Amino acid sequence: MTTFNSDSYPISATPNEISTFLAQPANLREILPQDRIENWKVDGDQCSFKIKGLADIALKLESADDYKVTYVSTSEKPFAFKLIVDLNTKDDGAAISAKFDADVNSFMGMMLKSPLTNFLNSLGEALNRKYS
């Protein structure tokens, strides 16, 4: 398993508010890069979409609490992975960081590091804007 990490982002909301928002797959569309997402679908605790020029992604909510929200891929293609958002309490709200645990070899990991880190940072920036 190869792990990719975002930066930490301050959020002007409680961890519970953020967790409640992220635990609804339909809400993910709001924080994904709109110009790169197509074929968006939601069905209960699952969502799927295509990242233009890359891959089809299917996610299912695995767990959510005031400390962490975890989504798992429901397809082995392009590879199995987990998307995890960690929530930390701060004096004036929360701080979030995201990580992507992917079942890829080290060579593929090197190729994916930059685009996945940028993707994770875009999620943190979108949440920061949403709650600012």
Domain residue limits, the chain: 2-130
Per the structure block, which two tokens stand in for 20?
């409640």
Residue 97: name the closest of 71, 76, 128, 74 by CA: 128
String of DSSP letters for 35-99: GGEEEEEEETTEEEEEETTS-EEEEEEEEE-SSEEEEEESS-SS--EEEEEEEEEETTEEEEEEE
What pLDDT digit, counting tens, does each position of 41-75 carry? 999 999 999 888 778 899 999 999 999 999 999 98
Task: Please state, in angstroms and rounded to a whole number, the distance separating the CA atoms of residues 70 and 22.
Answer: 9
Under DSSP, is residue 127 helix (H, G, I), strand (E, B) or coil? helix
Task: Please state, in angstroms and rounded to a whole number, the distance separating the CA atoms of residues 104 and 125.
Answer: 26
| Residues 2-130, CATH architecture | 2-Layer Sandwich (3.30)
Would the pLDDT of 29 be above 90? Answer: yes
Residue 57: name the closest of 20, 108, 100 by CA: 100
What pLDDT digit, counting tens, does each position of 99-120 carry? 999 999 999 999 999 989 999 9
